[in-house]
Structures are given as C-alpha cells and as structure tokens.
Chains A and B, each alone.
Chain A
C-alpha cells in the first residue's frame, strides 16, 4: 500500500500558509479545519516548512503576548521530511514513529499534493491488518466446511 491510496480518500484540499503570515492566521486555519499542522509553502507551492500546534504551544509559553503577531516563519520547522505518493505505507509508518513526526507533507515534482497524519497511517495499517485477518478467517472457515460439504 502506498501513500497515494491514503491521499485518494482525503479530497484535494491541502491547508497551507505562507511564511510571512501571522501565527494568528495559522491558529485560525488549525481551528477552522480541525487539524494539527499546516504546511508552509512559498509562492510556487513548494513546501518550505511545517507549523504544528506544538510549535505554537511552545512559543506561547515563552512569550504569551507576542506569539500571535509573530510571522509563521519564526516558529515553523524547516528541513521538513516529505513523502512522495509512491512511498510504501510500511516505511512511512516506521519513519514517522521513529522520528516522531506527526504530519508528513507529500510532494510530487517539488509541488505539494497532500499531507498525511500519523493517524491516517495508523488507520490505513489497521484496516489493512483487519482486512487480512478477515480474509484469512473466511478461508479457514471454507477449509473447515469443505469435508462437511463433501460428506453432505
């Protein structure tokens, strides 16, 4: 399973922000869309950073009053790890857990095409395992039923 199949059921909206916008605006985006992070893009839609709720929480503790007016670029994490649609779900899950990344922007030819959260990855993995268990179960049942079917 690849990252593409996670993006396929997420519509086409990717919530982004520009580096010179204010934290106030970033908070509004996070609240309006009920998300935990927003991708920071340049004017060419290339991701240059990511801003998570945690980045803002940390800054707010340091500077309660000034945090809202700060530019996004002041708090965002640079050197973002990005995924591509062809990435395997298993390696993405491993890397996100290992490096404690909760949001992974996905790019194609340098352009942002989506974002997946660790929650998306966990859900996809759970569905995958659940599907495999289910498939194995009905095959086992079929095997057990076989002799009976023959006898009948």
Chain B
C-alpha cells in the first residue's frame, strides 16, 4: 500500500491554530524520518504564536523567547502560514477535508470559566483573560475598557494568570514602559488610581497554583508592598501532614515565602498587593448603580478527598471586601469549533490521545486530530504541549501507516492557497509576519522597548503597503 508522505506525493496537513502546540506538532511532523510532509498552518488572527504573543505577560519577555524555535519550524520547506483566516468564518472543515490528508486542531482554550455566582455580570467585573488579551494587544480585545479609576481591585484565583494580572496592575508606568505592553494599555495604566490589589485563593498557601518564581517576583515590585494575612498563611494540620508525607520542598519554599510576606511591614510604597487564602467569593455586590461595589467572601476550611487532595469547604463565616473592580481567573475554557465534535463536560474536542472521536460511534473520525489545551484542557506550561503534540503525531503516523487518512479532492498546495485567498483576500503569510516583526522591533528600539505591537489588522496591512480593501466579514 502506498500512502502519501513521499517525494512527489507529500502528506498534506492543515494545522488550525498557530500557538505553541501547533508549532510543536509541525516540528514533530517535519522530524519524522522518511516522511515528506507539507503543513499549512491557519490562525484567526493575522500573527502567529498564540498565547505567547497574546497571553504571556509583557514583563515576561524571557518566556516569549521560545518563538525563536517556532520561526525555525516556519522556515522549513513545505511550511505555509495563513494568518487572519478563521475556521467557521472563512473556511469550513469540509473545505479542509477537500484539500488535506489530515487536519489537526490546536486552537487552545479561547474563553474563561465563570464563577457561577450572583453579580458576576455587574459593570467592572471582568474575565482576567480579557484583561490579559487587552494589555497584550490582541486585535479582538483592543476596544475593551477597564475602570482603572477604582482604588481597589480583586483578582479571583491564584494561578499564574491571576498573578500576571496582579503584577500588571501593581507595576509602575516606568516598569511597564520597558515591556511590549500594548500602547493604549500603557496609557490607561499610567492613569490608574488603583492602590490595593487583592489576590484571592480558595485553598491554602500550600495549594496555591502559582509557581515559586512567580511568587518571588511579587515581593520585588518597584512601588508595591506585598503582604498576606498571617492566619491565612499558617499551615493547617492537613496541609502540614501532606507536605511532610510527600517531602515536597517546592511547596515548603512557597509557604515559607508567603509567611515571610505576612511578616513584612509596609515600606510606604504607593500600592499594596494583598494575598488572601481560604476564601471564596459568593457574590459580587452592587454599588447601587449596577457596578461592582464589593465582593462577599466566605471563609473556607480544607478537607481531604479519598485521594488526599485538599479541597475547600465553606465555613459559613462571611466577609465583605470593598473593591470596585473584579477580575475572575478561575481557569481558561475551550470553545467548540464549527463542525468538530466537542466534549462539553471537559471543554475539549472529543478525543482519545488526540484522535478526534465521533460523538455517536465513539470511533475515531478519519483524518482529524487535536493537541494542546483544546485536547486536554488548560494545564501545564508552554513546554507541556510538546509531549502532548508528540502523542498526537504518533497517532497520525500510526493511522497513516494503516491507510487511515482523508482522500482530498485536490491536495495540491496551489489549490489550498487559491481557496484561502478567494475566501480571505487579506490573509497574512509568514513572510508578512517576519516583516511586521521587524517593524515592531524597530519601533521598540527607539523607545527602549522589546517591540511596539501592531494591534489593528488595518495598521498591519498599511505597514506592509497593502490595501485593507473590502471590509472584513465579521
């Protein structure tokens, strides 16, 4: 049996989503010995890198350096990028089936989980993910506004996203000015009147999801004193026992650090960052005008599940926190793609080890795969997506060898390109991106910043000397 993947008959793969997972999967495919593969990578925004550009905090440039390895993948012969092309809007799954042997969905988790409490939709209550996309210059979020005239803000959650938001709210304009934060966000934050920022964890200090380097960074902010409530960072018996049993040194370090924060005396810095633990919001309070006037918290106690996980249980003791701005950061959530089976329960594409499953038969759908957050849910660091993508590629290679792949009507690269250009004439190539990248970095050099981002599609087109032409279909 001769299947595609040879000289003259390359395996044609469409990857939907140009984030880290898409690049890791492409890299893995290119490295398959003896396989000749061509990859077309699609993204709904004009630029590649997914959350590395739109999620990773602007003051964490080192983490963004991973894009260098993505550029190497994109430079491989047989790689093609179609930016600004959205599945479901510009092209359909059927279009892709007609042009590729295999489709791989790596669209990540595009929205956030709700808290499910009263008042969640009051004015000045936001998903942290929207704030993150806004300050990072994501074209779809640049129009948002946040009421930074408030003096007190609370962030619900103690994961790394929550910590990012707390840090960005607490940094001085000078600290932010040397990052690649979006220009409009820098201006808005320059005028910020926020004095107190609360980070709220439902469990104790030993269970906080943020990592130690992130916690340490909070103690080194130029003009914000970090503090914690002494009673809340004391270890309860269950947490102490769990830590002793497992001998987990990283957790011990984290707890030590948080206890040290609780002992710190404020040094008179302009802002205060307050870490709270063992509290859950139960209601956002209306200030009488439909905006957030406060956050009602319930104190929690920890209990151990069968497997020894410590989980929070409300005590019935309440407290009102006077805040005027709330960001919820209780997790990202995947969004269903039009025409792709979805598992509502876990918020992922219905899959087994990356093979998309038919919802009726529960058997794999021929030629369709998934990897990354939209496969397993939003967990892990950027690098975690590498083994995850590799697992999916193994399935793809097994299926190719077993003759399970799509039989496209026209697998030529030219046919795919014709289709895309017809549907979305404004689409961006990788060459376009490299040019934009150079311009962004160049604009940054003048002001001592890593780059000054383009945040509007029209600006990108203009910079490339292209006409914006017909209005985009929304």
Of residues 15 through 52 on chain A, the ones whose CB sits less than 8 Å from some CB of chain B are none
Most chain B CB within 10 A, of A9, A127, A128, A131, is at A9
Cross-chain contact B307 with A12 (CB below 8 angstroms): no
Beyond A12-B362, A132-B381, 7 extra complex contacts between A and B, CB < 8 Å: A5-B379, A9-B375, A10-B352, A81-B307, A84-B306, A134-B386, A139-B62
14 contacts between A and B (CB under 8 A): A1-B380, A4-B346, A8-B351, A9-B348, A9-B352, A9-B376, A12-B357, A84-B305, A96-B307, A126-B387, A130-B386, A133-B383, A138-B66, A142-B68
A13-B383 contact in complex given A8-B375, A94-B245, A138-B65, C-beta closer than 8 Å: no
**Is A113's CB within 8 Å of the partner chain B?**
yes
Known contacts A8-B375, A127-B387, A131-B381: A91-B362 contact under CB 8 Å = no
B380 touching A142, Cβ below 8 Å: no
Q: Taking the complex as formed, is B116 at the interface, i.e. its CB lies under 8 A from any CB of chain A? A: no
Chain A residue with Cβ nearest B351? A9
Decide if B388 is an interface residue (CB 8 Å cutoff). yes
Please name all residues of chain A whose beta carbon is closer than 8 Å to the beta carbon of B382 when the two chains form the complex: 131, 135
Taking chain A's interface residues, is the majority helix, strand, or loop, or is none over half, making it mixed?
helix
Interface residues on A, range: 35 or more
Tell me if B's interface is mostly helix, strand, loop or mixed: mixed
Within the assembled complex, what's the spacing in Å between the Cα atoms of A92 and B307?
5
CA distance A8 to B382 in the complex (A): 18
* Chain A residues with CB under 8 A of B422: none
Which of B68, B345, B352, B357 is A113 in contact with, Cβ under 8 Å? Answer: B345
Q: Interface digits, A80-95 against B, CB 8 Å rule (1 contact, 0 not)? A: 0111101110111011
Using known A-B contacts A91-B307, A127-B387, A135-B383, determine if residue A8 contacts B377 with beta carbons closer than 8 Å: yes
**B376 interface neighbour in A8, A11, A82, A86, Cβ under 8 Å:** A8
Q: Interface of A with B (CB < 8 Å)?
A: 1-2, 4-13, 81-84, 86-88, 90-92, 94-96, 104, 113, 126-128, 130-135, 138-139, 141-143, 145
Contact in complex: A9, B307 (CB < 8 Å):
no
Nearest B residue (CB) for A1: B379
Q: Name the one of B69, B207, B248, B354 contacting A9, with C-beta atoms under 8 angstroms.
A: B354
In the complex, what residues of A have CB within 8 A of residue B350's CB?
A: 11-12
**B343 with A86: CB separation less than 8 A:** no
A91 partner, pick from B66, B309, B346, beta carbons under 8 A: B309
Tell me whether A88 and B309 are in contact (CB under 8 A).
yes
- Supposing A7-B346, A130-B387, A132-B383 touch, asked if A82 and B375 sit within 8 A by C-beta, the answer is no
Assess whether B114 is interfacial by the CB under 8 Å rule: no
B353's partner among A5, A9, A126 (CB-CB below 8 A) is A9
Within B18-38, which residues are at the interface with A (CB < 8 Å)? Answer: none
